[in-house]
């Protein structure tokens, strides 16, 4: 997913340091400071470093796509021969496209993420977009099975040519791309674009790095009147995942993204409030 990342607040970003992924990457960091953040983007350093350097992250991506290929073969075997062509719907950013170069720029320059900077990346740096490990092999396998790979992304329509160029730079096929690429025109809500794709194809798998890549039902509110509302939003998203548990690993395949997404929205100015309580003390 993309564009929701542009709304991260400094305080919400701070919680990233406490995520368990930092220890997975072999790093230890001190607790977030209670003082105002002078350079918020530095608080994301561990998340960026994990995604760019940790073999564990590579393994998770490869594992995810290996399983997606198995599910696709199984579903195709059970699919009636008659009907529209089968398809898989995939998000692009952090699902197929690895934007590590953009994150490196933010860290190197010590600047915060912004729509203006993301515009420059999307417009001018298609050749630097890498591919998420496992994604290319999965896409090529799907195409060999006769499955149409559809991309529904919040990359912008005005940079359509640049997005297509990025796909080509990654070594991915752009044959028939006009019927396979659904870009953002006015809203990050993908519902209508999903409906258009589902009217054209028999979709058997959805793959993304954020829950809204599957359904808008997982969207988190953007405004909160109290901490109680924030806690309720967190709990409701978790409850929705539990209610949809049978779909994850079946026709919904999700990859990890600790850098941005709807999960950050409810955290507010003091994310430490939402850490799990413990009786352990110093």
128-138 confidence digits (pLDDT tens): 999 999 999 99
**Minimal CA–CA distance to 2: which of 106, 108, 107, 115?**
115
pLDDT value of position 5: 54
Q: Where are the domains of the chain?
A: 4-26+43-269
The model's pLDDT over 32-56, given as tens digits with 9 standing for 90+, comes to 444 444 455 676 788 899 999 999 9
- CA–CA dist 230, 266 (Å, integer): 5
- pTM (2 d.p.): 0.86
pLDDT value of position 113: 85
Q: How far is CA 231 from the centre of its chain?
A: 23
Does residue 25 surpass a pLDDT of 70? Answer: no
CB within 8 Å of 49: residues ≥ 6 apart: 25, 27
Distances in Å between the alpha carbon of 196 and those of 29, 47, 78?
46, 35, 24
Tell me if the domain spanning 4-26+43-269 has CATH number 3.40.50.1000. Answer: yes
Across the beta sheet with 252-254, the strand order is 181-184, 148-156, 86-90, 202-208, 252-254
Does residue 125 surpass a pLDDT of 80? Answer: yes
- CA–CA dist 103, 105 (Å, integer): 5
- CA–CA dist 47, 59 (Å, integer): 16
């Amino acid at each position: 997913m993309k564009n929701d990342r542009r709304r991260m607040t400094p305080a919400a970003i701070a919680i990233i340091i406490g995520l368990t992924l930092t220890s997975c990457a072999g790093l230890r960091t001190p607790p977030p400071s209670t003082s105002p953040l002078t350079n918020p983007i530095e608080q994301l350093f561990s998340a960026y470093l994990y995604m760019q350097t940790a073999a564990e992250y590579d393994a998770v991506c490869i594992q995810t796509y290996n399983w997606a290929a198995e599910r696709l073969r199984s579903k195709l075997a059970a699919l009636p021969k008659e009907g529209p062509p089968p398809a898989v719907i995939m998000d692009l950013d952090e699902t197929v496209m690895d934007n590590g170069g953009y994150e490196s720029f933010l860290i190197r320059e010590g600047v915060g993420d912004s729509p203006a900077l993301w515009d420059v990346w999307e417009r001018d740096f298609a050749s630097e977009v890498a591919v998420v490990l496992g994604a290319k092999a999965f896409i090529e396998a799907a195409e060999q099975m006769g499955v149409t790979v559809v991309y529904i992304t919040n990359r912008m329509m005005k940079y359509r040519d640049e997005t297509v160029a990025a796909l080509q730079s990654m070594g991915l096929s752009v044959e028939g791309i006009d019927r396979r690429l659904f870009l953002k025109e006015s809203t990050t809500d993908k519902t209508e674009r999903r409906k258009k794709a589902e009217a054209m194809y028999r979709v058997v798998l959805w793959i993304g790095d954020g829950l809204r890549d599957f359904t808008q039902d997982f969207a988190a509110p953007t405004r909160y009147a109290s901490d109680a509302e924030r806690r309720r939003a967190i709990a409701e998203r978790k409850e929705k995942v539990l209610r949809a548990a049978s779909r994850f690993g079946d026709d919904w395949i999700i990859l990890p993204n600790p850098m941005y997404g709807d999960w950050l929205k409810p955290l507010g100015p003091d994310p430490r409030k939402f850490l799990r309580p413990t009786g352990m003390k110093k």
